[in-house]
A and B are shown apart, each in its own frame.
Chain A
Protein backbone atom coordinates (compact mmCIF):
# COMPACT_ATOMS: atom_id res chain seq x y z
CA UNK A 1 0.00 0.00 0.00
CA UNK A 2 1.80 3.07 -1.16
CA UNK A 3 -1.01 5.55 -0.74
CA UNK A 4 1.16 8.08 1.09
CA UNK A 5 1.64 10.30 -1.92
CA UNK A 6 -1.76 10.02 -3.49
CA UNK A 7 -4.46 12.45 -2.50
CA UNK A 8 -7.37 10.07 -2.79
CA UNK A 9 -8.67 8.97 0.59
CA UNK A 10 -8.02 5.36 1.47
CA UNK A 11 -11.28 3.84 2.61
CA UNK A 12 -9.99 1.92 5.58
CA UNK A 13 -7.86 3.11 8.48
CA UNK A 14 -4.16 2.28 8.57
CA UNK A 15 -3.10 -1.17 9.68
CA UNK A 16 -4.83 -4.47 9.50
CA UNK A 17 -8.61 -4.29 9.40
CA UNK A 18 -8.85 -6.94 12.09
CA UNK A 19 -7.05 -4.75 14.63
CA UNK A 20 -9.74 -2.12 14.14
CA UNK A 21 -12.43 -4.53 15.17
CA UNK A 22 -10.35 -5.23 18.22
CA UNK A 23 -9.73 -1.54 18.89
CA UNK A 24 -13.42 -0.72 18.76
CA UNK A 25 -14.26 -3.68 20.98
CA UNK A 26 -11.71 -2.40 23.48
CA UNK A 27 -13.03 1.13 23.23
CA UNK A 28 -16.47 -0.20 23.95
CA UNK A 29 -15.13 -1.94 27.05
CA UNK A 30 -13.52 1.25 28.32
CA UNK A 31 -16.52 3.32 27.37
CA UNK A 32 -18.87 1.18 29.41
CA UNK A 33 -16.44 1.21 32.30
CA UNK A 34 -16.23 5.02 32.18
CA UNK A 35 -19.98 5.38 32.17
CA UNK A 36 -20.29 2.93 35.05
CA UNK A 37 -17.89 5.19 36.96
CA UNK A 38 -19.78 8.34 36.06
CA UNK A 39 -23.19 6.98 37.01
CA UNK A 40 -21.93 5.36 40.19
CA UNK A 41 -20.50 8.76 41.09
CA UNK A 42 -23.85 10.43 40.53
CA UNK A 43 -25.13 8.39 43.47
CA UNK A 44 -22.12 9.13 45.68
CA UNK A 45 -20.95 12.62 44.76
CA UNK A 46 -19.58 13.46 48.20
CA UNK A 47 -17.59 10.27 48.53
CA UNK A 48 -16.13 10.55 45.03
CA UNK A 49 -15.20 14.20 45.42
CA UNK A 50 -13.49 13.58 48.74
CA UNK A 51 -11.60 10.48 47.67
CA UNK A 52 -10.53 12.06 44.40
CA UNK A 53 -8.61 14.75 46.28
CA UNK A 54 -6.36 12.04 47.71
CA UNK A 55 -5.16 10.89 44.30
CA UNK A 56 -1.74 11.82 43.05
CA UNK A 57 -2.65 14.22 40.28
CA UNK A 58 1.00 14.99 39.52
CA UNK A 59 1.79 11.43 38.60
CA UNK A 60 -1.38 11.31 36.52
CA UNK A 61 -0.29 14.44 34.68
CA UNK A 62 3.25 13.16 34.13
CA UNK A 63 1.82 9.98 32.70
CA UNK A 64 -0.45 11.96 30.40
CA UNK A 65 2.53 13.79 28.96
CA UNK A 66 4.47 10.55 28.71
CA UNK A 67 1.73 8.75 26.80
CA UNK A 68 1.01 11.64 24.45
CA UNK A 69 4.68 11.90 23.65
CA UNK A 70 5.11 8.19 23.11
CA UNK A 71 2.12 8.26 20.80
CA UNK A 72 3.83 11.06 18.93
CA UNK A 73 6.98 8.94 18.64
CA UNK A 74 4.90 6.16 17.14
CA UNK A 75 3.50 8.59 14.59
CA UNK A 76 7.07 9.44 13.67
CA UNK A 77 7.91 5.75 13.42
CA UNK A 78 5.11 5.21 10.93
CA UNK A 79 6.17 8.31 8.99
CA UNK A 80 9.72 6.94 8.86
CA UNK A 81 8.74 3.53 7.53
CA UNK A 82 6.50 5.11 4.92
CA UNK A 83 9.70 6.65 3.54
CA UNK A 84 11.43 3.32 3.84
CA UNK A 85 13.73 4.13 6.78
CA UNK A 86 13.46 1.00 8.91
CA UNK A 87 16.24 1.85 11.34
CA UNK A 88 14.77 5.27 12.02
CA UNK A 89 11.40 3.64 12.46
CA UNK A 90 12.85 1.16 14.94
CA UNK A 91 14.48 3.96 16.93
CA UNK A 92 11.24 5.91 17.25
CA UNK A 93 9.50 2.73 18.33
CA UNK A 94 12.13 2.00 20.95
CA UNK A 95 11.66 5.53 22.22
CA UNK A 96 7.93 4.96 22.47
CA UNK A 97 8.46 1.69 24.32
CA UNK A 98 10.88 3.44 26.66
CA UNK A 99 8.24 6.04 27.46
CA UNK A 100 5.80 3.20 28.02
CA UNK A 101 8.30 1.94 30.56
CA UNK A 102 8.27 5.34 32.27
CA UNK A 103 4.47 5.20 32.41
CA UNK A 104 4.66 1.77 33.99
CA UNK A 105 7.23 2.89 36.56
CA UNK A 106 5.24 5.99 37.56
CA UNK A 107 2.07 3.97 37.78
CA UNK A 108 3.69 1.29 39.90
CA UNK A 109 4.97 3.94 42.30
CA UNK A 110 1.46 5.34 42.49
CA UNK A 111 -0.07 1.93 43.16
CA UNK A 112 2.59 1.18 45.71
CA UNK A 113 1.79 4.35 47.64
CA UNK A 114 -1.92 3.54 47.59
CA UNK A 115 -1.46 -0.06 48.70
CA UNK A 116 0.98 1.03 51.40
CA UNK A 117 -1.73 3.36 52.68
CA UNK A 118 -3.97 0.34 53.04
CA UNK A 119 -6.20 1.18 50.11
CA UNK A 120 -7.78 -1.74 48.27
CA UNK A 121 -10.80 -2.61 46.17
CA UNK A 122 -12.78 -2.82 49.38
CA UNK A 123 -11.99 0.69 50.62
CA UNK A 124 -14.95 2.33 48.91
CA UNK A 125 -16.69 2.53 45.55
CA UNK A 126 -14.44 5.33 44.34
CA UNK A 127 -11.27 3.40 45.02
CA UNK A 128 -12.79 0.27 43.57
CA UNK A 129 -13.23 2.17 40.31
CA UNK A 130 -9.93 4.01 40.54
CA UNK A 131 -7.99 0.79 41.02
CA UNK A 132 -9.84 -1.35 38.53
CA UNK A 133 -9.94 1.29 35.79
CA UNK A 134 -6.27 2.17 36.12
CA UNK A 135 -5.17 -1.46 36.45
CA UNK A 136 -7.24 -2.41 33.41
CA UNK A 137 -5.61 0.41 31.47
CA UNK A 138 -2.20 -0.55 32.88
CA UNK A 139 -2.58 -4.05 31.43
CA UNK A 140 -3.28 -2.47 28.06
CA UNK A 141 -0.11 -0.41 28.30
CA UNK A 142 1.85 -3.59 28.95
CA UNK A 143 0.15 -5.34 26.05
CA UNK A 144 0.80 -2.36 23.78
CA UNK A 145 4.47 -2.40 24.74
CA UNK A 146 4.71 -6.07 23.86
CA UNK A 147 3.11 -5.43 20.46
CA UNK A 148 5.39 -2.46 19.78
CA UNK A 149 8.31 -4.60 20.89
CA UNK A 150 7.58 -7.22 18.24
CA UNK A 151 7.16 -4.54 15.60
CA UNK A 152 10.38 -2.79 16.64
CA UNK A 153 12.39 -6.00 16.45
CA UNK A 154 11.05 -6.77 13.01
CA UNK A 155 11.69 -3.20 11.85
CA UNK A 156 15.28 -3.43 13.09
CA UNK A 157 15.80 -6.56 11.05
CA UNK A 158 14.51 -4.69 8.03
CA UNK A 159 11.27 -6.63 7.94
CA UNK A 160 9.23 -3.67 6.70
CA UNK A 161 9.54 -1.42 3.71
CA UNK A 162 7.95 1.69 2.26
CA UNK A 163 5.60 -0.55 0.30
CA UNK A 164 4.81 -3.09 2.93
CA UNK A 165 4.48 -2.00 6.54
CA UNK A 166 0.98 -2.94 7.63
CA UNK A 167 2.47 -4.43 10.80
CA UNK A 168 3.87 -1.06 11.90
CA UNK A 169 0.55 0.65 11.32
CA UNK A 170 -1.29 -2.09 13.12
CA UNK A 171 0.87 -1.81 16.23
CA UNK A 172 0.73 1.97 16.03
CA UNK A 173 -3.06 2.03 15.90
CA UNK A 174 -3.29 -0.14 18.99
CA UNK A 175 -0.86 2.07 20.89
CA UNK A 176 -2.78 5.23 19.97
CA UNK A 177 -5.90 3.57 21.32
CA UNK A 178 -4.16 3.04 24.66
CA UNK A 179 -3.24 6.72 24.65
CA UNK A 180 -6.68 7.87 23.60
CA UNK A 181 -8.34 6.00 26.43
CA UNK A 182 -6.01 7.56 28.96
CA UNK A 183 -6.89 11.02 27.65
CA UNK A 184 -10.43 10.42 28.89
CA UNK A 185 -9.52 8.36 31.93
CA UNK A 186 -7.17 10.94 33.40
CA UNK A 187 -9.58 13.88 33.54
CA UNK A 188 -12.46 11.63 34.51
CA UNK A 189 -10.86 9.96 37.49
CA UNK A 190 -8.24 12.51 38.58
CA UNK A 191 -9.70 15.89 37.76
CA UNK A 192 -13.38 16.30 36.98
CA UNK A 193 -15.45 16.93 40.09
Chain B
Protein backbone atom coordinates (compact mmCIF):
# COMPACT_ATOMS: atom_id res chain seq x y z
CA UNK B 1 0.00 0.00 0.00
CA UNK B 2 1.24 3.47 -0.84
CA UNK B 3 2.05 5.64 2.18
CA UNK B 4 -0.54 8.19 1.09
CA UNK B 5 -3.22 5.48 1.03
CA UNK B 6 -2.35 4.59 4.58
CA UNK B 7 -2.64 8.22 5.60
CA UNK B 8 -5.99 8.43 3.87
CA UNK B 9 -7.32 5.42 5.80
CA UNK B 10 -5.95 6.86 9.03
CA UNK B 11 -7.74 10.14 8.38
CA UNK B 12 -10.98 8.30 7.73
CA UNK B 13 -10.60 6.34 10.95
CA UNK B 14 -9.86 9.44 13.01
CA UNK B 15 -12.87 11.19 11.51
CA UNK B 16 -14.94 8.21 12.55
CA UNK B 17 -13.75 8.64 16.12
CA UNK B 18 -14.70 12.32 16.06
CA UNK B 19 -18.10 11.50 14.70
CA UNK B 20 -18.60 8.74 17.24
CA UNK B 21 -17.86 11.10 20.10
CA UNK B 22 -20.38 13.50 18.64
CA UNK B 23 -23.03 10.79 18.36
CA UNK B 24 -22.44 9.76 21.93
CA UNK B 25 -23.12 13.36 22.90
CA UNK B 26 -20.01 13.50 25.06
CA UNK B 27 -18.71 16.75 26.46
CA UNK B 28 -16.33 18.04 29.09
CA UNK B 29 -12.73 19.08 29.26
CA UNK B 30 -11.15 15.71 28.51
CA UNK B 31 -13.40 15.17 25.53
CA UNK B 32 -12.72 18.64 24.16
CA UNK B 33 -9.00 18.05 24.55
CA UNK B 34 -9.26 14.70 22.78
CA UNK B 35 -11.23 16.13 19.90
CA UNK B 36 -8.83 19.01 19.47
CA UNK B 37 -5.86 16.66 19.60
CA UNK B 38 -7.46 14.53 16.89
CA UNK B 39 -8.03 17.62 14.74
CA UNK B 40 -4.45 18.68 15.25
CA UNK B 41 -3.15 15.27 14.21
CA UNK B 42 -5.43 15.10 11.20
CA UNK B 43 -4.53 18.54 9.95
CA UNK B 44 -0.84 17.84 10.49
CA UNK B 45 -1.19 14.66 8.46
CA UNK B 46 -2.81 16.56 5.61
CA UNK B 47 -0.20 19.30 5.77
CA UNK B 48 2.74 16.93 6.00
CA UNK B 49 1.81 14.09 3.70
CA UNK B 50 -0.79 15.52 1.32
CA UNK B 51 0.52 19.03 0.96
CA UNK B 52 4.06 17.74 1.03
CA UNK B 53 5.35 20.02 3.77
CA UNK B 54 7.07 16.99 5.34
CA UNK B 55 9.75 17.34 2.69
CA UNK B 56 10.42 21.02 3.04
CA UNK B 57 12.77 23.16 5.05
CA UNK B 58 12.20 23.68 8.75
CA UNK B 59 10.74 27.14 8.22
CA UNK B 60 7.73 25.91 6.28
CA UNK B 61 6.99 23.11 8.70
CA UNK B 62 7.33 25.50 11.59
CA UNK B 63 4.92 28.02 10.09
CA UNK B 64 2.28 25.40 9.41
CA UNK B 65 2.83 23.49 12.64
CA UNK B 66 2.85 26.70 14.63
CA UNK B 67 -0.33 27.84 12.98
CA UNK B 68 -2.15 24.59 13.75
CA UNK B 69 -0.92 24.43 17.31
CA UNK B 70 -1.90 28.03 17.97
CA UNK B 71 -5.36 27.69 16.44
CA UNK B 72 -6.18 24.37 18.13
CA UNK B 73 -4.57 25.54 21.36
CA UNK B 74 -6.46 28.81 21.47
CA UNK B 75 -9.71 27.04 20.72
CA UNK B 76 -8.91 24.87 23.72
CA UNK B 77 -8.31 27.96 25.84
CA UNK B 78 -11.62 29.44 24.75
CA UNK B 79 -13.47 26.26 25.69
CA UNK B 80 -11.72 26.15 29.02
CA UNK B 81 -12.79 29.76 29.62
CA UNK B 82 -16.35 28.81 28.75
CA UNK B 83 -16.27 25.92 31.19
CA UNK B 84 -14.88 27.82 34.20
CA UNK B 85 -17.17 30.80 33.72
Contacts and interface: CB of A to CB of B under 8 A. Distances in A.
Do A and B share a direct contact in the complex (Cβ within 8 angstroms)? yes
Interface of A: 9-14, 20, 24, 27-28, 31, 34-35, 38-39, 41-43, 45, 49, 57, 61, 64-65, 68-69, 71-72, 74-76, 79, 169, 172-173, 176-177, 179-180, 183-184, 186-188, 190-193
A159 to B, nearest CB: 21
A34 B46 contact: no
Nearest to B74: A35
B41 to A, nearest CB: 10
26 contacts: A9-B56, A12-B60, A14-B52, A24-B67, A35-B74, A38-B75, A39-B78, A41-B78, A42-B81, A42-B82, A57-B22, A57-B23, A69-B8, A72-B7, A72-B8, A76-B4, A172-B51, A173-B51, A180-B46, A180-B47, A183-B11, A184-B39, A186-B18, A191-B19, A191-B35, A192-B75
B50 A65 contact: no
B51 A184 contact: no
Chain B interface helix/strand/loop/mixed: helix
Nearest to A185: B39
Contacts, number: 131
A168 B39 CA distance: 27
B56 A38 contact: no
B38 to A, nearest CB: 7
Given A9-B55, A31-B67, A45-B85, A180 B5 contact: no
Contacts of B78: 35, 38-39, 41-42
Contacts of A64: 15, 18-19
B31 to A, nearest CB: 8
